[in-house]
Amino acid sequence: MCWKDTLTATSPSSCTLRKARRAPTSLKPIGGCAGRWLHKRTKLMSEIDNKPLHDWVRQTLHQYEPPYDPQDWQALRRQLRERRRWRLTGLVALFLLCAVGGYVVLLNVPSHRNVTYPVKKASARADRKKKVEVFHPQATQAEAATVIKTPTYPRQRTQPNADLPVADRRPVSLRLLAPVQLVGQRTQPLPEIRYQPPSVKEIALLQHVLTPTAGPDSTVLEVLSRNLRYWNKAVIVCDLTTSMDPYAAQLYAWFRRNTRNPNVLGTVFFTDCDSLGQETRPGGLPGAFFVTREQELNAALPTMLAAARNTAHNDLDPENVVEALQYAQRTFPQANHLVLLTDNGSRVKDMDRLPGLIKPVHVVACGGAATETDAFQPDQYQIALRTGGSIHTLDDDLMQPDPATNHTFVRLGNNYYRYVAHKGRFIKTRRKHRPLRFLGINW
């Protein structure tokens, strides 16, 4: 027999297998919850295409990555929105709860307090009356009468006035003094009060100060507005000659716009005149200077008028600028900067005293150009250069004049001036606009 015949003979027939399957098993069924669970798991395992089971098995693997589904992000975004909405609702509810609780607590707090006033002690007259318990034989032991008993004081005997000493009677002679003896032998006449009308200089200064507009040249206003915030503890030294009246008025116009500026310690006015009103000269009296620490026009106006009266005999052009700067340096030792308001065309007569200045000087060049060819007066430019200060015009700020190059331009009026290094001056050019430097060329 071949192996096929042997296998056919020994293997059970199909009918036998059907009977074996239909035959009852010897195992007893499991009842209750355990049986139902086992039946469910068995049914799941018997199904070949069971998607929940397959998904559960995949998720247990370490390298499982679910497929991308856009609907998952939509669902997650809805959940996040719901969380934010509930979080905001909770915060609003907590705030309202705290507000209501605080309001209830405030309602329960009493609106007034019991104030106890001190009680005055009884006077001596009230202490004289005392309550005394008096026993009466006709009354019972439980009854008693309260009687107020006032003490009696014996009357003192008055002494007659005859026993008192009498003052000595002596005749008194009254004599009226003559008016001549009260005033004196010779009466001095009172000084005559004369009204001195304001001078032309004072009237012009008042007109400039009281004028609300700065005019076409607002150099002081523009320079102080741009730079005074950087000059801590500054002292303003102002030339108050006739040509500087409009610019001195701009100073207090700037103070009105910037009330109580802490950067300004005070103002020093000078007029190139001594205490006698005469122009200063070598070997003569020192110049007169007028100092004010007020920043309001009403308080500083008397000082300005006093300085204006002292400039009547100032006829020459050079001025004692360095002496005024040194006076401001001595008067305000705590100052860090000196701001010089001066006429751009005025020369300086005391340049030999320049080494005595130890504080930086910031020169505000008021007016037009110094000459037809030069932008600045050479002495004023040297003051700013040698003290480490700066020089300013209506449109430009030369914060460090020392490193000026041949490409530095400034504007004065309608003209532009270029710095010439070998001359050390700003020379007038023919340009009518501010040049732009591009590719090494001024266009």
Q: What is the pLDDT of residue 186?
A: 52
Q: What is the pLDDT of residue 116?
A: 40
Q: What percent of the chain has pLDDT over 70?
A: 61
Q: Which position has the higher pLDDT, 110 or 367?
A: 367
Q: What is the pLDDT of residue 142?
A: 45
Using 50, 70 and 90 to split pLDDT, how confident is the model at 301?
Answer: confident
Rounded to the nearest integer, the mean pLDDT of the chain is 74
Other CB atoms within 10 Å distance of the CB of residue 331: 14
3-state secondary structure of 397: strand
User: 289-298 pLDDT, tens per residue?
Assistant: 999 998 888 8
Find the mean pLDDT for residues 272-288: 82
Q: Is the pLDDT of residue 266 over 90?
A: yes
Q: Which position has the higher pLDDT, 442 or 367?
A: 367
Maximum average pLDDT range among 197-206, 269-278, 309-318, 402-411: 269-278
Q: Which position has the higher pLDDT, 181 or 366?
A: 366
Using 50, 70 and 90 to split pLDDT, how confident is the model at 309?
Answer: confident
Q: What is the pLDDT of residue 51?
A: 72
Q: What is the pLDDT of residue 150?
A: 52
Q: What is the pLDDT of residue 329?
A: 95
Other CB atoms within 10 Å distance of the CB of residue 408: 16
Using 50, 70 and 90 to split pLDDT, how confident is the model at 314?
Answer: low
Distances from the Cα of 386 to the Cα of 5, 324, 360, 362, 422, angstroms: 130, 17, 9, 11, 17
Cβ-based neighbours of 335, under 8 Å, separated by 6 or more: 233, 234, 235, 265, 328, 329, 359
Residue 412 near residue 368, CB atoms below 8 Å: yes
DSSP lists the bridge partners of residue 378 as: none
Maximum average pLDDT range among 9-18, 132-141, 160-169: 160-169
What's the pTM?
0.55
In the block, which residue shows the tokens 């320079």?
223
Q: Is the pLDDT of residue 24 over 80?
A: no
* Topology adopted by domain 200-400: Rossmann fold (3.40.50)
Nearest to 324, CA basis, from 364, 273, 366, 369 = 273
Residue 261, both tokens: 């500026």
Using 50, 70 and 90 to split pLDDT, how confident is the model at 57?
Answer: confident
Q: Is the pLDDT of residue 196 over 60?
A: yes
For the chain, what are the domain ranges? 200-400
Q: Is the pLDDT of residue 414 over 80?
A: yes
CA 328 to chain centre: 28
Q: What is the pLDDT of residue 208?
A: 72
Q: What is the pLDDT of residue 145?
A: 43
Q: What is the pLDDT of residue 278?
A: 81
Q: What is the pLDDT of residue 6?
A: 43
Using 50, 70 and 90 to split pLDDT, how confident is the model at 327?
Answer: very high
Q: What is the pLDDT of residue 11?
A: 45
User: 87-130 pLDDT, tens per residue?
Assistant: 899 999 999 999 888 888 877 755 444 434 344 454 545 444 44
